[in-house]
Chains A and B, each alone.
Chain A
Amino acid sequence: MNVAAETRRELPNKKVRRLDPAAIVGVMSRDINLFRKFWKATTFSSIVEPTIYLLAFGFGFGGLVASVNGVDYIEYVGTGVVASAALFSSVFAGMFNTFIRREFQRTYDALLAAPVSVEELVTAEVLWISCRAGIYCMAPLFVAIAFGLDPLWGIMLVPFVGFITGWGFASFGVLISAMAKSIDNFNYVTSAIITPLFLLAGTFFPINELPPAIEWLAQFNPLYHCVQLVRDLVIFGLGWIDLVHLAALLLFAVVMWRLAIWRQTKQLID
């Protein structure tokens, strides 16, 4: 057998390209295998957490605040919590999973020895998390429907909004995991960034109730744009302003994705 003796320069049946779908599917197949085992726990926390927020605020404040902007408070919160669900199901997965797989399990070292680039690896992880976010973010809407929300047909597009939002926050999580020295550092990010983003998004109250400076800042919160877009899709109907919201989410998603790849490359390639 002399195959090895004549080193082939051409690999006719194996094309090498950037962001190769085969590599991305390969990495995702790993995630899907794992998900088959953990789906109950993951699904439980991703659905129950926003639902609890929805019920607690819906009923707690619902008694005090009958409606906001002419919408029943529970419907207002139900549409707002879609953004929280997309956030929670993506940012923590991006942070913890990638940190553990890189530092403790060395999974990424194994994957990168195969024909997979860091770009493909990060993209596959982010893609997988965003798909989940797109599905999980629907949970609060079903709860709100059970409590009387009568959605517009635009609700069909909500998974897409959840997907883009999830893409941005999963990438943000991956970026943070590449910058953190230890897993304890995540506490700073959770307290200083994620909690304010979560609260100042117009989920539970309109941001125009906030002091002007904070209201101005909240416009830069991607979750705010997610909330507005979802409400317009489900309750108010779309308007031109929604193009701005969509553009803001897309911009956030793309910038975070590229930053995540850049920082993970620094971590993974010596």
Chain B
Amino acid sequence: MARAARTSSFIVISVTPAISLRGVVKRFGDITAVNGLDLEVEPGICFGLLGPNGAGKSTTMRLLTAQAIADEGEISVLGFTLPGESKAARMEMGVCPQLDNLDVELTTRQTLNVFARLYRVPRAEREAAIDRALTIAKLHDRADTKTSELSGGMRRRLLIGRALVHQPQLVLLDEPTVGLDPQVRQELWTLIDGLRSDGVTVLMSTHYIEEAERLADTVAVMAEGKIVAQGHPTELVREHAGEEVIEVYGPPLRLTEVTEHAQSRGWITRRSGPAVAILRAETLDGQAPDGERRAATLEDAFVVLTGQEIN
């Protein structure tokens, strides 16, 4: 629990963490996808794993279902040690993958039926479980449609319904809203928020800042295979980007000038599109150049932490 106490200001409840990774390393040939990862997820929260593409988020997800086996380190999920007890852990987990892997030939109902069986939902409860998943996915009127004929948003809802058919304790959502239009994304956010209200632990990877900001109780920023910062979104912003940001707009030459000046004074800057943003503006005592002041965001913190712009 020492780690949880250090990284989070929440009251530490002495329960088995839903997920625990210690010193986990995963290599693919010369590439080290996960590089000494330490992560602990308390039960009942929505935990956001935020990081740029290639940070190791998906590999981490695969490690948690033992579809990838760690080269070093210890992993436990719901109190089960991986990879040995992974099957027992998977009984109580639901997984929504980043890449759509629905069975294109099956109908919505058949898909849910197959997974209800795989998750060992007893025969007597299977119909009710499928019905509940159809309600979650809002696909009652598409129950007998082949999944290949569903829209992108419907398929994504079905992927989530499939992951929830057995009422798992823990749900892994790997980039749940990637490639979806804003309206569908909102719908899914409501759904994910509902899960947390039901007491389900959610581990969600995303590279959408807004998604993490809105849904996650705790956010861990991942870069180059490890966690570089962790905490409540607002804490992370305050700690790594301060309270305010000044954005200076101008032609490229002016922006370079402002950047150089800022750096010579030891101020933290970032390029954000057509502007240079100077972070921790509240500490500059009026010496900062003129520009637009705004509140610091998680995106600012993210850029500081990962050195990468998000587009």
Contact = CB atoms under 8 A, between A and B. Distances in A.
A193 interface: no
Interface string A234-270: 0000000000000000000000000000000000111
A62 B288 CA distance: 100
A26 B118 contact: yes
Interface in B71-113: 78-80, 85, 87-88, 90-92, 95, 97, 99, 101-106, 110, 113
B198 A5 contact: no
Contacts of B69: 269-270
Contact of A26 (B13, B43, B65, B114): B114
A184 interface: no
A192 interface: no
Contacts of A7: 15-16, 18, 43, 78-79, 169
A92 B114 CA distance: 24
Q: Which of B18, B67, B68, B198 has the most CB of A within 10 A?
A: B67
A116 B118 contact: yes
Contact of A25 (B68, B78, B117): B117
B200 to A, nearest CB: 6
Nearest to B70: A270
A43 interface: no
B101 A110 contact: yes
A29 B113 CA distance: 9
A117 to B, nearest CB: 6
A11 B103 contact: no
Contact of A14 (B80, B91, B170): B91
A1 interface: yes
A29 B126 CA distance: 14
Contacts of B80: 9
B18 to A, nearest CB: 6
Given A16-B87, A37-B105, A5 B117 contact: no
Contacts, number: 121
Given A4-B199, A113-B97, A30 B103 contact: yes
Contacts of B105: 33-34, 37
Interface residues of B, number: 49
B120 interface: yes
Contacts of A11: 88, 91-92
A109 B101 CA distance: 7
Given A112-B67, A269-B68, A5 B15 contact: yes
A154 to B, nearest CB: 37
A4 B169 contact: yes
Contacts of B44: 2, 4-5
A147 to B, nearest CB: 38
A78 to B, nearest CB: 35
A3 B62 CA distance: 25
B201 interface: yes
Contacts of A112: 65, 67
B68 A16 contact: no
B62 A270 contact: yes
Interface in B144-187: 162, 169-170
A270 B66 CA distance: 9
Nearest to B163: A113
Nearest to A106: B101
B76 to A, nearest CB: 10
A105 interface: yes
B97 A9 contact: no
Q: Which of A4, A23, A110, A116 has the most CB of B within 10 A?
A: A4
A34 B28 CA distance: 35
Given A14-B91, A37-B105, A115-B88, 12 more contacts: A6-B15, A8-B79, A14-B120, A22-B117, A23-B118, A33-B110, A106-B99, A107-B101, A114-B119, A115-B90, A117-B87, A270-B59
29 contacts: A1-B199, A2-B44, A2-B199, A4-B201, A5-B44, A7-B169, A8-B169, A9-B16, A16-B85, A16-B88, A16-B91, A22-B120, A26-B117, A26-B118, A27-B114, A29-B117, A30-B103, A33-B105, A105-B101, A107-B101, A109-B99, A109-B101, A110-B102, A114-B95, A114-B118, A115-B88, A115-B118, A269-B68, A270-B62
Nearest 8 interchain pairs by C-beta: A26-B117, A106-B101, A270-B68, A113-B95, A26-B118, A114-B118, A115-B90, A110-B101
Interface of A: 1-9, 11, 13-14, 16, 22-23, 25-27, 29-30, 33-34, 37, 105-107, 109-117, 268-270
